[in-house]
Structures are given as C-alpha cells and as structure tokens.
Amino acid sequence: MPKLKVMIASSEAIPFIKTGGLADVAGSLPIYLKKFNVEAFVVIPKYRDIDFKDCYLENVLPTMCVRMGSGEEWCSVFKTVYKGVDFYFIEHHNFFSREGLYHDNAFNDYQDNAWRFGFFSMAALQLCRDLKLDVDVVHVNDWQTAAIPAYIKTWHWSNELGRAASLLTIHNANYQGIYNSATTYDYLGLGWNNYSPDTFEDHGNINLLKGGIFFSDVVTTVSPTYAREIASPYGGHGMAPYLQNKTTSFFGILNGIDEDVWNPVKDKFLSANFSAEHMAGKKICKRELQKSFLLEQDENVALIGAIGRFVDQKGYHFIASIIDYLMNNMNMQFVILGTGDKGLESFFGDLPKRYPGRVGSYIGYNNELSHLIEAGADMFVMPSLFEPCGLNQMYSLKYGTIPIVHATGGLEDTVENYNEQTGEGTGFKFYDATSSALYNTIGWAISVYYDHPDRFKTMQLRGMKIDNSWEKSAKEYIKAYELAISNKRNYDDMCRL
C-alpha cells in the first residue's frame, strides 16, 4: 500500500506557538502518524512571537506569489524539522508580524482576520504547488483554515491539488470566523455563487466554518460526546443542521496526549518521577508544589489544582463563587494557574493574601508549574460549561491526580464517575452546570480522599493505566483520511457525469 501523504494546515502548533488544544493536535498528531506509514507535514503562519532559537530555519521559498480573489499577495516560506516532521511557516509581515495570534493583548479581535487567514489558507495550497508536495489529504482545523476545502474544489479542481481530499476538524464550534462579507468576500475569492445559506452566507455575513463544513469531504471534532452535542439542536452554536447534513461523514475522534511530554515516569520538569508501581515520587512532587505556592507543608491535606484560560467557557466563575465556602467548610488546599479575564485574574491573584498557606495562584502561563500541578495535586478541577475534548483531565489521569469535572464533551468521554457501591471509576462528575453542583462534587471527592483512602488510591492507579495516547487517536484519523479519500473520489465521479 502506497504511503499516505497528508498536509495539516493549522493556525497554531506546538512546540512553536499555542493558545489552546488546537496547537497540541497539529503538533503531536503528525509525529504519531509517521508510525503508521503516513507522511504528514504541518503548515502554520510565521508569527512574530515564535522563538526559533533551538531550530535550524531554512528559507525554502524566498518569494511566493499567492493569488487571491482581488489581487496578489507576496510572502516567504520557511521550513524546520521537529521530531522528524517537516514544519512550514508562511511569512507575511503585514498579517503576522504583530502581537498575538487572533487578537491584541487587550483581547480585541483583529478586524482583518478573514483576510489574514484566508490568505494563509490559499498560501498553504500554493506552497504545495510550488514545492511539488503531492498530497492525498489536506487536514484543516477550525475556521482559520476552513476555506481550504472550498479552494480545492473551486480554484484547484483542474490541477494536481484538485485530487486531494479534505478533512475539517472542529476544535470549538463556538468560534466560526464570522466577518463582514462586503469587505472580505471578493478578496477571499470564494465565488459569489458559493455565497448561500448552505455554504458561506450567515445573515448577511461570511461564516468561514460553515462553508468549510459544506465543502469538506469529512468533518470531525475532538470527542464523540462533543460531536453529539454540537449536532443537537441546542448545542451547535447554529451549526447543527449543517453538521447533520454530513450524516456518517461527521463524527468525533478523541484527542490523545503526548506521552513523551506528559508522563510522570520521565517528566523532565519534576524533581522526582513516579509510576503506578512506584508512587513515592508523587509525595515528593506534592511537597514541591506546596513549597512553590507557599502552602503549608502537609502531605496529608487534600490539595486541588486548576489550570486554564479564564474565559466563560471554562467555568472558573463557578470556582470564584464557592471558594470562600470551600475554604471555610473543608480541610483543603487549592492552587490555580491561568490567565484571561482581568476580573478573574485579579480575584484569583488576591486569594493567597486572604488564605495564606492554603491557596496559591500564578497569573500567567508557566509550563514547568503546569507539570508540577498535575504531578503534585491530589485532585484537579475542570468545571467547563462545555469542553470539546480537554487535555488536562487526561494529563491528570496519567499523573494519578483525580479529575473533578462537569460531564460534558470530552470530559464525559474520558472520566468514569466514581461508584459509591463498587468503588469503580476514575474521577468525580457533576451534571448540572451550577456552583452548588461543583461545590457538592468537590465535597464528595474530599470525603472519599479522607474517609476511603484505599479506594482513592485504587482510582489513582486505575487512571494511570488508561491508554489516552496519540497512537490510539492516530489510527482513528487514518480511517477518517481513508473515508475522505473515498468521499472525494465519489464527488469527482459525480462531477464528471
């Protein structure tokens, strides 16, 4: 069987630039695809904030002309290799040499985002043509690259790129790339014949994600439960009917975790490593975590951690509303690392002053501390209103840190609720998105921690043995690529009739 060739087009990818889980998928998946005879490469923008100090960066196309709907853009293409995978970077100073990826530091969206990522989408295809990178499947991600399937079927149908199948992965259906069509549509060159309620038109605006859903040969999302949620009438942020139209060509594939990076056995950020067979290192990590956050040194107290972006979706306002009750009524410590909403940053940043020795906070992002929280905490809380997949609950399982989660999306798929009768389970779930439900579930988890320590330890060990690796997910993506190729072949046959 000939080697499958896949281009992954993404607006971000680890280890170069990251704002969310999209970067983890784009950077990790191709590494594991290689293990199954799939030749994958990644294309992302060359942002100003990418640090290439540890990479050899080659300028493979000093000048590249990208034809858009209302003119030409000129850019450069650079390349580096990371873990055996080729990464290409599109350099366009006007579009990408600015602060942030999608918005400025005040979280104001850039008004030319449709232009920026429409250009990037076409540039990714032009790169394939100019470098003669023959691909079988183009794997696009979210609204930023959702125009690519349309470009393949409208602009490139008569050349070598026209045979490529397309797969669109939706990482968060809440973000759809909705912009003013009057100022952007001609530039994008998607064709006014494709500006309809079934394709790119959305109440007089352009909706890039919706058009991508229509033109893609297969659409996936990042967990089976999230797929069901966004295809339901009330869970798809308006996308449900268009996803339903994809029938069996829309489904969820659970994200994996990179066990070369997130693994307590070999985690380079920990002062002591550990495994399910040898757990002593976890106690050392707990002491180190308490020391780092200026908490009282007590290996027996229940310590709960949280990491994430302070945005409405993540549910940190629930934690803020109950933290005083938790501190006053429960014997526990709490640490949180995150950034985002300025009000929540101020609130969580002030908590250590109010509860010295019991609460610690770090406002911002710190990769080393993230690993230490996952390793040193006893429990990890994720109260997300919705969660397409989530990664921290899987990191927590791997590190023997019991997840406390809202039963939604990927959290529902990856955490088995504790059973009081049998002691089975890997975590604690709450089903109502309310502060009281979160409070009661944290209390439930803490009671098991103190009153049933043997059961708690059994849950830890059970979670550490679960296979949430990318190898498992990569196999599912290969099946999805094969389906996309089959669907594209059927589409081409219909076009010839």
Unique residue bearing structure tokens 């339901």? 232
Are the beta carbons of 397 and 391 closer than 8 angstroms?
no
Structure tokens at 192: 């006014």
Residue 26 corresponds to which tokens in the numbers above? 């784009």
Q: What are phi and psi of 215, to 5 degrees?
A: -85, -15
Could you give the angle at the alpha carbon of 412 between the alpha carbons of 23 and 171, nearest 5°? 25
Q: Which of 73, 184, 48 is nearest to 124 (CA)?
A: 73
- Interatomic CA distance for residues 295 and 356, integer angstroms: 7
DSSP bridge pairs for 81? 86
> From CA 6, how far away is CA 128, in angstroms rounded?
11
According to DSSP, residue 467 is labeled -
Contact, 89 vs 45, CB < 8 A?
yes
Tell which residue, 135, 149, 131, has the closest CA to residue 90: 131
Q: What is the DSSP string of 26-82?
A: HHHHHHHHGGGTEEEEEEEE--TT---TTS--EEEEEEEEEEETTEEEEEEEEEEEE
Question: Nearest 5°: phi and psi at 84?
Answer: 80, 0
Among the listed residues 291, 309, 307, 311, the one whose alpha carbon sits nearest the alpha carbon of residue 299: 291
Q: Would you give the distance in Å from CA 343 to the centre of its chain? A: 24
The residue behind tokens 């590249």 is 64
- 192 in Cβ contact with 185 (< 8 Å): yes
Residue ranges for the known binding site for ADP-alpha-D-glucose are 18
- Contact between residue 230 and residue 168 where contact means Cβ atoms under 8 Å apart: no
d(CA 417, CA 439): 16
**Numbered residues of the known binding site:** 18
DSSP 384: -
Collect all residues with Cβ–Cβ distance below 8 Å to 259 and sequence separation of at least 6: 398, 469, 470
